[in-house]
Amino acid sequence: MSIPSITQVSGTAVFVPGADIDTDRIIPARYLRCVTFDDLAEGLFRDVRTDPEGNSCNHPLDDPRFEGASIMLSGPNFGCGSSREHAPQAIRRAGFDAIIAESFAEIFFGNSTGLGMPCVCASAEEIQAIADAVEANPKLEVIIDLESMTASYGDVSIAVTMPKTAREALLSARWDPIQELLDNGGAIEARAEALPYV
Amino acid sequence: MFAFRRRCAMTRPSKAKIMGKNLYQKVWDEHAVGTLADGRTQLFIGTHLIHEVTSPQAFGMLRDLDLKVKYPSRTFATVDHIVPTDNQQRPFADPLADAMITELRKNVDEFGITYFDLASGMQGIVHVVGPEQGITQPGTTIACGDSHTATHGAFGAIAFGIGTTQVRDVLATQTIAMEEMKVRRINVNGKLGPGVYAKDVALHIIRLLGANGGIGYAYEYGGSTFDGFTMEERMTVCNMSIEGGARCGYVNPDATTFEFLRNRPYSPKNGEWDEAEERWLSYASDADAEYDDVVNIDAAEIEPTVTWGISPDQGVAISESIPDPAEAKNAVERASILEALEYMKLPAGAPIKGTHVDVAFIGSCTNGRLSDFREVARYLKGRKVADGVKALAVPGSQITAVICKKEGLDQIFIDAGFEWREAGCSMCLAMNPDKLQGDQLCASSSNRNFKGRQGSATGRTVLMSPLMVAAAAIEGKIADAREVFSVN
């Protein structure tokens, strides 16, 4: 199984502000009543995009200026709560290729990396500055470069961070680890043999 | 003692110094298969638990890649999130829910996995079933596609939630790629006051350290309060580690742990028991173990705690008031208080006590165990749920339900005006028909007060201990259970 290495993500961006945006908000639980991930994009942030009467809440994701955005910007502890991979799957299937936030909840971060969707961190001020630039020019291209660990837009370039292992996994086309895990079958069996309870 | 360690413990001991290890390090080292090319560890998962929501896609991936389940006997399945708690007749009223349970049956049959299904008498919330069956054991690694897997850490296991692609990895290889966490020791010392429960300890810790305070950490809970806790109390606190941002939380195994596990269906049998106990004890953190951080909490400071906002760290003691954004420390805090109060429709600065309640829910993997129902029943006898309040009691497992019935607890709840339901996750996340309507406010013994968590996009959740939920149900408003039930 061959997967591409991910060195750079570029595209237009949309700012979804807020702290502690949880995975229930990203994809409400009723959308988890499914046996495939195929139709999740529709549920993305559904309950903060449409009110119970079906009216639009003018969420940034429904702002026509940001249509086609492939980079999401957000606040601290993004993706906290439930481990549901449905959350990053919904984001991915709605056309996003990367997220820049102040920080990420751990399970969400791992799930996203496993889908080849880089999650990089920047400060609140830096993210606000990108959001302001995008607000002024929604067609502005934002480039996340994992080699140099920067995010650039216009003539600005900022440093972004990501754990070393995840970066390495993305750059070296190992973000889906299944093949490497399988290749170590002998070592797995030896470990199982050595464990007193297996 | 810990203050000293805190200063010097930011790095792991060098090999020259022989220092003790904490449980996390011991279990991690014993389960490490090797280091992957990207630097992550390939970690062996001793026990894998699955349920209907996060496993079907993983089995689909296995089929796509033409892979088999490597150790079928190391995975256990049950069904909990989508099961109706009233009418469980198949097919379920919700065809999507029925399709999920059908899919799980197909998958476990095809791959030879043990399944505690609705007909087994052993079904329940996966985090109640594991311990109940004795599947959850000290010194093991436990993974499940569910963030509340940390519950199992109460037994001295390294237990954590994983995503569906990782469920695939565990099924196919019994391992995952993972980065080692730091360890924060949280000591709670002293005696909890009357009417103060493990749930209050959990909410207090989260309030203190924040919903993101635990990112990158495993939480080791200890101190005399935890030493004195029952296993069910330990599970309640470990369960909510993730609400504090910690993927994993645990308590060192001791005599209380072993007593709980004795004679469970999957526990070691008589001839193996002594050896198992000795081995389990060896995983406990050494007296001179090092930690990346240490926090000390005085149990006497903890009051019955309730949330007022939309994040589990937005909590107050029952005697306190709802925060006022005008008193926020900074603009970020002010914005988050404002957002929470707007959603919760609560007045800034008013006492939380007296807030009108529409629904009361006792259940979930946090507080749906036998001891929770026993404790509430002690006080509920002869009392009545207030007019207009819908009150639900949902046992965490079929076995819990059977014992409650045998002890007559179900009747006490029913006589008080609660609906006594079948086992499942129910209104904790409302994937089944148990949902809030409109902006109903629910006093809930569950674990998350996120926007829309309980099934209505405008529904409101106030987290608290089961006895506080019972007090709210009786009063029709948030109340101090110590006063309502004369707890002293």
Size of interface A-B (CB pairs under 8 A): 211
Mutation pick from A25, A53, A80, A175 vs chain B, by most beta carbons of B within 10 Å, is: A80
Domain assignment of residue B321, yes or no: no
CB within 8 Å of chain A, chain B residues 33-52: 33-34, 36-40, 42, 44, 46
Residues in A closer than 8 angstroms to B335, CB to CB, are: 19
Query: Six-digit token pair at B155?
Result: 């037994």
Residues B141 and B270 reside in one and the same domain: yes
Asked if residues B51 and B81 have their Cβ atoms less than 8 Å apart, the reply is yes
- Judged by CB atoms closer than 8 Å, whether chains meet at B37 and A172 is answered as yes
Half-sphere exposure of B351 (CA within 13 A, CB side): 8
Find chain A residues with C-beta within 8 A of B172's C-beta: 178, 181-182
| H or E element at residue B378 | helix B370-380
CB contact under 8 A, B457 and A198: no
B379 located within any domain: yes
Contact B179 A115 (CB under 8 A): no
Residues listed for chain A? 198
Q: Is A93 on the interface with B (CB under 8 A)?
A: no
CA dihedral B86, B88, B93, B97 (to 10 degrees): 110
- The DSSP call for residue B351 is B
B37/A180 touch (CB, cutoff 8 Å), yes or no: yes
Amino acid of residue B297: I
- Domain match, B167 and B271 both: yes
B452 interfacial to chain A (CB closer than 8 Å)? yes
Which residues are registered as beta bridge partners of A14?
A72
- Mark whether B49 and B117 lie in a shared domain: yes
The whole-angstrom distance between B212's CA and the closest CA on chain A is 6
Is the domain of B53 the same as that of B74?
Answer: yes
Q: How far apart are CA B266 and CA B84, in angstroms?
A: 28
Complex ipTM, two decimals? 0.97
- What is d(CA A77, CA B209) in angstroms, rounded to the nearest whole number? 13
Is residue B472 within 8 Å of residue B478, measured between CB atoms? Answer: yes
Q: Which tokens belong to B92?
A: 């379920």
- Residue A110: which residues within 8 A CB-CB, separation 6 or more? B162, B163, B166, B178
Do B196 and B147 lie in one domain? The reply is no
CATH, range A8-162: 3.20.19.10
Interchain CB distance below 8 Å, A111 and B165: yes
Tokens of A26: 């990203």
Q: How far apart are CA B362 and CA B368, in angstroms?
A: 7
Domain-embedded: residue B409: yes
Task: Name the residue of chain B whose CA is nearest to A23's CA.
Answer: B450
d(CA A24, CA A10): 27
Which member of A1, A22, A177 has the closest CB to residue B36? A177
Q: Do B293 and B420 belong to one domain?
A: no
Task: Rounding to the nearest 10 degrees, give the CA dihedral for residues A166, A172, A176, A178.
Answer: -120
Amino acid at position B438, single letter:
G
**Cross-chain Cβ contact A83/B163 below 8 Å:** yes
Residues 94-133 of A with CB under 8 A from B: 103-107, 110-111, 114-115, 124
Chain B residues 409-448 with CB within 8 Å of chain A: 429-431, 438, 448
Q: What is the pTM of this model?
A: 0.96
List of chain A residues whose C-beta atoms are within 8 Å of the C-beta of residue B44:
188, 191-192, 195
> For residue B225, which of B200, B261, B247 has the smallest C-alpha distance?
B200
CA-based nearest residue to B199, from B171, B235, B169: B235
- CB spacing of A85 vs B336 below 8 angstroms: no
Domain ranges, residue B98:
20-179+264-280
Are residues B460 and B432 part of one domain? yes
* Nearest residue, CB atoms, A29 vs list B178, B336, B430: B430
- Beta carbons of B30 and A195 less than 8 Å apart: yes
- Are the C-beta atoms of B355 and B229 separated by less than 8 Å? no
The first and second tokens of residue B27, run together, are 């279990």
Q: Which of residues 131-150 of A touch B (CB under 8 A)?
A: none
Interface contact B26, partner A, CB < 8 A: no
Residue B314 resides in a domain: no
Q: Is residue B306 part of a domain?
A: no
Residue B333 maps to a domain = no
Taking the Cβ of residue B161 and every Cβ of chain A, the question of whether any pair is shorter than 8 Å is answered with: yes
Q: What number is the average pLDDT over the span A176-184?
A: 98
Q: What's the confidence (pLDDT) of residue B79?
A: 98
- Coil, helix or strand for A101? strand
B/e letters for B9-47, b = 16+ CB within 10 Å, e = fewer, are beeeeeeeeeeebbbbbbbbebbbbeebebebbbbbbbb
Q: Does B263 touch chain A (CB under 8 A)?
A: no
Question: Could you report how far apart the first and last alpha carbons of chain B are, in Å?
Answer: 34
Instruction: Judge contact between B143 and B71, C-beta under 8 A.
Output: no
Asked if residues B191 and B300 have their Cβ atoms less than 8 Å apart, the reply is yes
One domain, residues B164 and B26: yes
- Locate the DSSP E strands across B86-240: 114-116, 141-144, 158-161, 175-178, 182-189, 217-222
pLDDT for the residue numbered B16: 53
Distance CA(A194)–CA(B418), nearest Å, equals 50
Q: What is the pLDDT along chain B (488 residues), one digit of tens a residue?
A: 333 334 334 444 444 567 899 999 999 999 999 999 999 999 999 999 999 999 999 999 999 999 999 999 999 999 999 999 999 999 999 999 999 999 999 999 999 999 999 999 999 999 999 999 999 999 999 999 999 999 999 999 999 999 999 999 999 999 999 999 999 999 999 999 999 999 999 999 999 999 999 999 999 999 999 999 999 999 999 999 999 999 999 999 999 999 999 999 999 998 999 999 999 999 999 999 999 999 999 999 999 999 999 999 999 999 999 999 999 999 989 999 999 999 999 999 999 999 999 999 999 999 999 999 999 999 999 999 999 999 999 999 999 999 999 999 999 999 999 999 999 999 999 999 999 999 999 999 999 999 999 999 999 999 999 999 999 999 999 999 999 999 98
Would the CB atoms of B172 and A181 count as touching at under 8 Å?
yes
* B134 and B213 assigned to the same domain: no
Closest CA to B247 of B204, B213, B289, B218: B218
Do B54 and B174 belong to one domain? yes
Residues 6+ apart with CB under 8 A from B255: none
Q: Kindly state whether A3 is in contact with chain B, defined as any CB-CB distance less than 8 angstroms.
A: no
pLDDT above 80: residue A133: yes
Helix H or strand E segment including A25: helix A23-26
With beta carbons less than 8 A apart as the criterion, state whether A173 and A181 touch: no
Query: In chain A, where are the structural domains located?
Result: 8-162
Distance CA(B182)–CA(B255), nearest Å, equals: 27
Number of domains in chain B: 3
Strands (E), B328-389: 359-362
Nearest by CB to B146, from A18, A83, A182: name it: A83
- Which residue in A has a C-alpha nearest to residue B138's C-alpha? A197
List the one residue out of A73, A106, A86, A72 whose CA is nearest residue A28. Answer: A86
Provide the 10 A C-beta neighbour count for residue B8.
9
Q: Give the helix/strand (H/E) hosting B224.
A: helix B224-228
Confidence (pLDDT) at A2: 84
* Residue B6, pLDDT score: 40
Q: What CATH number did the domain enclosing B61 receive? A: 3.30.499.10
Q: Do B142 and B231 belong together in one domain?
A: no
Are residue B94 and residue B187 in the same domain, yes or no?
no
